[in-house]
Structure 1
């Protein structure tokens, strides 16, 4: 039985003057452990309206309650971790770029522990060594070591999704993140290092978000028409496929150096499990279109005229040209984490990235939960192709 007696209040986040940010909200007056149907309806509407919800002081929320909240946004979804499993060959699956960064909570396998540093014990895990992803391990270039604690980059802009496995591994609707332990005090300069001079002052260890709706809205009419009519084919076992490839300095997709794993060396590929998804995903509440592409995992583009962009470098350049304006500094929300923060984000309407470089002694402990969607995202409707 619900114990909360307050009414949820949704307040749009206050953003810096001059920014182009128009998403994100703070929610008060909700009891995640005892969430009524009415309160959840408020949360659901708020999420699809604001894309990122911040609920403070939630350290008491259990992994079970976090999972139940996450699944409630897609009640028909099977209880499967949203990123999937890259095959049965352990030696190959261990090459996935996701493999080193996640620890699974034994009693709630849909919830992962991520962070940095050594943690003696937590939720049934013991002697866990967490590693915050560092751009040095994934980017084709890196910041000088002498600037490592003062400067950083977006590690990898992405959507939480397996991107292979057919509809059984459809992209999760939401991801929830709970901050258990957060190092405080330092800020860093996030540099794009792409010749533009773009940079952003960020809190240490921030999670950066951008809106897929803003990313779509700022396109030219010609680009919008292209995006609405184009589908993206993702690589099979994408996180193994790109395990030796390197990222652009902006974290937005990969450089093309031929370092992708040959198809014959991947785990078994089932053609009916390859995902070909629209570039634009429709919001189920507002009807708006978001430009939703995981740039690191693309393999081909299927154009509206029936042709296919087979050349990987060309496909990447096309996608980069569409997405790069949407990660400009004034489009990025860099959340300033505090212990107990629970963030719910619309995984089908935002892209996000890990940011930051920690000293070995700085311990960061988070819980992450997402589950594979019950169906694929909605794409553009027929009316979207009508030019007024």
Structure 2
């Protein structure tokens, strides 16, 4: 047998061996009647604590294809295993938490929401209610973000437990200095059950019933595909400049009622009052991020952190109100009820989502005694996301 034939035979045997050693199977999610959501899948046959290379190859391919992956009944998954699979999607990534650290952390809008696991500092604990003891953390009080702390208008107190809003549509990213994470992982350790809430779309009067404390996802691919031909040309050739120290910068501003960007009232922290600004850390990123597997384009903008738009030909739009209006007009169709996936959390759920092709939002309002205990992990990327090939 020739060496060429022998080599081909060896590759074929290796391929068969890979398939034989793989246990992961991927099944697309079944969405509610009338839904237009075209992403999400359930992964069966594997446990997060021990994933073979062959299984991970299947999982990585599925993440780029399906955007959100759900692993059920992962009750024993450790923070260490959660960190390891998160980093596996970007092996060159550093151990830095995806949002990074600011010199002025207490002024950041993220500060109240984050508690770090002592023995695995890349993994954060989030949720609601009092927790006596968890993973080395003692007597912690978790607070689920509530829209009344961030939105310019609020739902009345009498309706608060029945109706809710998207809190803040976002990408997990520092958007200053550090590259956006490739993937985020979420683990549900304790989930309150038994009731639903109704999301109000104040601008259209639409409503959407969701499980209590759901995480909502909207696809950047859908946002791009919904655009007119003219808008597609615009987003393909436009870049977004994000504010320096964006989570401190936006800390005084308030959100639209749909959670998709901020209202311009001049309440942003002035640049000269921010922590020291390093010009080379200010990020100017494409409006569209390209899927490295199949070249699909996602309209991928963090609407609350935008500050300027850089258009083809060199023009810069720096009027903040205009910038926000443009971005909202482009993204708003993609968060219509039919395009939003609201995950119905069960204890033991482990979810991985592709942070470079989705926006997501916290949702819901909890009573004081409703305990929700989650872990999240994302790691700053080793490189910036890729934009369209021809611009």
Assess same fold via TM > 0.5.
yes
Q: Which residue in the other structure is 1:262 paired with?
A: 270
The CA deviation at 1:93 is: 2.1
Q: Which residue in the other structure is 2:369 paired with?
A: 361
Cα RMSD (Å): 1.0
Q: Which residue in the other structure is 1:131 paired with?
A: 143
- In structure 2, C-alpha distance between the alignment counterparts of 1:203 and 1:10, rounded to whole Å: 24
Q: Would the aligned equivalents of 1:6 and 1:30 in 2 still touch at CA under 8 Å? A: no
Q: Would the aligned equivalents of 2:22 and 2:55 in 1 still touch at CA under 8 Å? A: no
* 1:34 partner SS: coil
* 1:32 partner SS: coil
Q: Which residue in the other structure is 1:203 paired with?
A: 211
- In structure 2, C-alpha distance between the alignment counterparts of 1:310 and 1:349, rounded to whole Å: 26
Match status 1:191 vs 2:200: yes
Equivalent residue for 2:43, pick from 19, 22, 27: 27
- In structure 1, C-alpha distance between the alignment counterparts of 2:21 and 2:44, rounded to whole Å: 12
Equivalent residue for 2:166, pick from 145, 154, 157: 154
Q: Using structure 1 for the length normalisation, give the TM-score.
A: 0.95
* 1:253 partner SS: coil
Q: Which residue in the other structure is 1:163 paired with?
A: 175
Match status 1:11 vs 2:23: no
Match status 1:180 vs 2:189: yes
Match status 1:280 vs 2:288: yes
Q: Would the aligned equivalents of 2:188 and 2:346 in 1 still touch at CA under 8 Å? A: yes
- In structure 2, C-alpha distance between the alignment counterparts of 1:5 and 1:42, rounded to whole Å: 11
* 1:94 partner SS: helix
Q: Which residue in the other structure is 1:213 paired with?
A: 221
The CA deviation at 1:5 is: 7.3
Q: Which residue in the other structure is 2:80 paired with?
A: 64
Match status 1:240 vs 2:248: yes
- In structure 2, C-alpha distance between the alignment counterparts of 1:16 and 1:368, rounded to whole Å: 26
Q: Deviations over 1:254-302 (max 9, x none)?
A: 0000000011110000000000000000001111000000000001000
Q: Would the aligned equivalents of 2:180 and 2:356 in 1 still touch at CA under 8 Å? A: yes
**Which segments of 5 or more consecutive residues in structure 1 lack a partner in the other structure?**
none
Equivalent residue for 1:79, pick from 85, 95, 111: 95
Computing the radius of gyration from Cα coordinates, the structure with the larger value is: 2
Equivalent residue for 1:335, pick from 339, 343, 352: 343
- How many matched pairs? 372
- In structure 2, C-alpha distance between the alignment counterparts of 1:249 and 1:63, rounded to whole Å: 35
Q: Deviations over 1:86-143 (max 9, x none)?
A: 12xxxx3201000000100011110000000000111111010000000000000000
Q: Which residue in the other structure is 1:119 paired with?
A: 131
Moved over 2 A (4+): none
* 2:33 partner SS: coil
Q: Which residue in the other structure is 1:105 paired with?
A: 117
